[in-house]
Structure 1
Amino acid sequence: MAGEIVKMGAVDRRRASGSNNRIKRIVIAGGAGFVGSHLCDRLHAQGHHILCVDNLETGRMSNINHLVGDARFEFRLHDVINPLIVEGPVDEIYNLACAASPPKYQIDPVHTFKTSILGALNLLDLARDKGARILQASTSEVYGDPEISPQPENYRGSVNTVGPRSCYDEGKRGAETLFHDYNDRYGVVTKIARIFNTYGPRMNPEDGRVVSNFVVQALSGRDITIYGTGEQTRSFCYVDDLVTGLIALMASPAEMTDPVNLGNPGEFTMQELARIVLDKTRSKSALVYRDLPVDDPRQRRPDITRARDRLGWEPTVPLMQGLDPTIAYFAAELRRNTKEPVRAS
């Protein structure tokens, strides 16, 4: 039930030994999810106290079980469409709460939209009350089906407001507006990260996004499903690189409130990705083609000039390297959870 506390640790606000960085209490909404759990790990390893908030709609306890029971980690089962009450100080809030893959967020589009808008409002109110910094995990989906490439942050996008993806795209755009307005009107220190396709261990095998789909299909010996001609492109950022970018953005100067693209500018067609996965998994799966979903972007590639110039950030893990631990993770997941043959050696 909402508000249930699995474990709460006392907040130690002493300075870390040998470090100039004060130990913080950090709220991570969506912290049991794919990206959120990696962020929990990184910030916890830095010595901070973590309040992980998740409704477990797409997040999984298996992603954070290794932290539960630690004195500096607290998990709270809660849906951010409802106000979040937190006793004591809060220094930073990361809002990663929302299903991010089309098959998942389209299950209940109204709830998806509420998560983006009401969730943003509730967490912004918490940040305003606590005097905390807050970061919004926005998305490259705000660019819609872009007419230019790569996409810089000042590109306003080409978004369909009444399509099957609109609940997510427009919800994230609305959340960005709220973050801007809370900074402008109330002085809340806000950060906006526009996240491009991210992959790595802890993705749900049933996530429905292209990397998880291709790898699971290849490992299971099933046909690899390519939508459209396969010539549409995506850019893939390894999760460790993304987490580094999120933390750097949160630590940036208070006046830096403009959206920042976080992603890997390396661009691959869907056919290229499929063949890389087939090669790495040594799978004999065939490629099959299906109709392109409505509003599926033809091209997605970030311009990361702003991240390089203002954060000193750029990704370091190329796709060919990051796929290895990702494939190993999925192979282990399939062995645990299914009786299907796993073909990875």
Structure 2
Amino acid sequence: MIKRILVTGGAGFLGSHLCERLLTDGHEVVCVDNYFTGSKKNITHLLRNPSFELIRHDVTFPLYIEVDEIYNLACPASPVHYQYDPVQTTKTSVHGAINMLGLAKRVKAKILQASTSEVYGDPEVHPQPESYWGRVNPIGIRSCYDEGKRCAETLFFDYHRQHHLEIKVARIFNTYGPRMHPNDGRVVSNFIVQALQGKDITIFGDGRQTRSFCYVDDLINGFVRLMNTDPEFIGPVNLGNPCEFTMIELANKIIELTDSKSKVTFKNLPQDDPKQRKPNIELAKEKLDWEPTVKLEDGLQKTIEYFKGVI
């Protein structure tokens, strides 16, 4: 069945890949973005598709439109961007959730919230299962994003309980791939750009802190599978790659793949930066029949080729 699907943040890194996937699946797609971190360049190639519609809009204001499903991805997701205007970041998560939930309620649409592994904060449990409530600083420099996303989850579950809205909540772990912003401050894009430019690769902390990296195609597949699960399953569900790497391992791998002469340098770890981040994806395996398939080296190669064309 062809659906009319709204993607907020649709011109962003993840949103543009999601729009592509939904169009490939034969749906009509309405992309909404205010271009704070998204870019028209990410979706220019979709404008010729008659099933694709683009609307410039800020989700902190109500939107009146007829759709069957909503993927709510709108929010700056890298520390550089979400700390630039922290009040607006919180408003985007909270007011944006309220407005999109209100829209879903009016038109009886199914709605998915793109939440984040940041709801776990600097975790005391490793790897992180969905049952873990997290360890988040509510007044730190990352709180605008962490607490904004936690509040958005609260709103989704309360709309589900109070108004019987059909919801899905995905908790996204580190994701990388083509169309990442070159200056977004995330570790994969930072390291690749620095390596390609022959600059020192900057590691914050001692380099032994870990992250797990999921290639964008795998994540988008998880989104679509979650949206298409039975109404009884609402999440939250972790979507990420459980293969764990230290920052030093990642830096050395990128130096190798780019054949760079870059050296690794170390700086102080930012406030509240998590020491470990790795998803427990047993629930995704069980309920979505999903797990990542793209190996880090293969995904990095594709991402490096993309960055060679934009820097």
State if a TM-score over 0.5 links the two structures.
yes
Q: Which has the larger radius of gyration?
A: 1
1:125 aligns with 2:102: yes
Aligned equivalent of 1:54: 33
SS state of the match for residue 7, structure 2?
A: strand
SS state of the match for residue 309, structure 2?
A: helix
Separation in 2 of the partners of 1:296 and 1:167?
14
Separation in 2 of the partners of 1:223 and 1:238?
25
Among 198, 207, 215, the alignment partner of 1:238 is 215
Aligned equivalent of 2:254: 277
Deviation at residue 69 of structure 1 after TM alignment? 3.2
Q: 1:254-300 CA distances to partner (integer Å, 9 max, x unpaired)?
A: 11122000000000000000000000000010111000000000000
Q: 1:194-213 CA distances to partner (integer Å, 9 max, x unpaired)?
A: 00000000101111100000
Q: How do 1:214-253 residues align onto structure 2 when only pairs under 5 Å count?
A: 214-253=191-230
Separation in 1 of the partners of 2:18 and 2:48?
18
Separation in 2 of the partners of 1:129 and 1:173?
24
SS state of the match for residue 66, structure 1?
A: helix
AA at the equivalent of 1:52:
C
Aligned equivalent of 1:100: 77
Aligned equivalent of 1:70: 49
Separation in 2 of the partners of 1:148 and 1:263?
16
Aligned equivalent of 2:138: 161
Give the CA RMSD over aligned residues: 0.5
1:139 aligns with 2:116: yes
1:39 aligns with 2:12: no
AA at the equivalent of 2:203:
I
AA at the equivalent of 2:195:
A
Q: How do 1:303-314 residues align onto structure 2 when only pairs under 5 Å count?
A: 303-314=280-291
AA at the equivalent of 1:56:
Y
Aligned equivalent of 1:328: 305
Runs of 4 or more above 3 Å deviation: none
Aligned equivalent of 1:293: 270
Deviation at residue 231 of structure 1 after TM alignment? 0.4
Q: 1:153-177 CA distances to partner (integer Å, 9 max, x unpaired)?
A: 0001110000000000000000000
Count of aligned residue pairs for this structure pair: 311
5+ unaligned residues in a row in structure 2: which ranges? Answer: none
| Identical counterparts, % of pairs | 61
Deviation at residue 70 of structure 1 after TM alignment? 2.1
Separation in 1 of the partners of 2:172 and 2:22?
19
Deviation at residue 68 of structure 1 after TM alignment? 1.0
Normalising by the residue count of structure 2, what TM-score does the alignment of the two structures yield?
A: 0.99
Aligned equivalent of 1:85: 64
